[in-house]
Amino acid sequence: MHYTWLNWSLFLLAIWTLVFMLLGDKQRRREMLMVSLWTSLLGLTEPLFVPAYWNPPSLFNLAQMTGFDIESLLFAFGVGGGAFALYNLLFRAKDASIPVVERRSPRHRFHFWAILSAPIVFGALVFATNLNPIYDAVIAMLVGGLAALYCRPDLARKMFASAVIFLAFYFLFFLTLIIAYPGYVAAVWNLKALSGILVLGVPLEELLFAASFGFLWSGIYEHFTWEKLITK
């Protein structure tokens, strides 16, 4: 059980590699890699979640000694690319630059704040409330996603579809953990501090995370690059 978190993260990276190869297009692969690299930095927030949300045995016992661990960086890398790329893989969407005139729309006056809204809300909730950090994260991502939609309503289809797609993917992915390591959830997750609701053994909070993460993160690249999607 000591290497479960590492093995699970490596399995996610194997899936990431498969999706990366299936994308085919070099530009799409470059985008997926870029999003994953930036998302991996979210793994540095792990001390906020250990042990408040969970307390997984980690490589070199880093999580227990420092709050940080290598597995979180690998996991964040994998989920970031997955949330971004699965929609593109399924619908073969293409990018097109948004004209400068369109960027001057009144909605885009708040573009900068829309991008920053998720980390700002998360930080405010962490310091101002006693909520478990997983709920802080879910709320922040939902707020950030809605703010992003206000500025970029053209991404609505991708964001809502990605929320469902990534939720389904993550649920099936989590089931592999339950099947391979029975009892791991009860041993590692701080269920007493959560809702205690399990869906086929998967904590409800993990599913809320997946849906909100897929909703926000699927369109993050387009927000930074001022690109829009064209589906066939």
- pLDDT, one tens digit per residue, over 117-132 is 999 999 999 999 999 9
8 Å CB contact between 32 and 19: yes
CA dist 94 and 91 (Å) reads: 9
Q: Where are the alpha helices (DSSP H) in 152-219?
A: 156-180, 184-188, 204-217
What domain count does the chain have? 1
User: Which pLDDT does position 97 carry in this prediction?
Assistant: 66
- Separation of alpha carbons 73 and 149, rounded Å: 28
Range of the domain at 208: 4-230
Tokens 């290598």, residue located: 70
At 6, the amino acid letter reads L
Look at residue 211 in the predicted model and tell me its pLDDT. Answer: 97
> Could you tell me the pLDDT band of residue 103, with boundaries at 50, 70 and 90?
low
The strand pair at 94-97 and 227-230 is best described as: antiparallel
pLDDT at residue 187 tops 90: yes
Cα–Cα distance measured from residue 29 to residue 86, given in angstroms and rounded to the nearest whole number = 12
Higher per-residue pLDDT: 65 or 4: 4
89: number of Cβ within 10 Å: 18
Q: How far apart are CA 73 and CA 44, in angstroms?
A: 7
Please, which pLDDT band fits residue 221 given cuts at 50, 70 and 90?
confident
Angle between helix axes 26-39 and 4-23 (nearest 10 degrees) is 150
pLDDT over 80 (residue 30) = yes
Query: Ranked by mean pLDDT, which of 43-52, 95-104, 219-228 comes out on top?
Result: 43-52
SS3 190: coil
Tokens of 23: 């994308």
Q: Which residues contact 108 (CB under 8 A, 6 or more apart)?
A: 151
User: Which residues, 6+ apart, have CB-to-CB distance to 23 below 8 Å?
Assistant: 29, 32, 85, 88, 89
Q: How far is CA 183 from CA 61, 177, 194, in A?
A: 20, 10, 17
pLDDT score recorded for residue 121: 97
Is pLDDT of 20 > 90?
A: yes
Structure tokens at 133: 């950090």
Which pLDDT score, from 0 to 100, does residue 231 have? 64
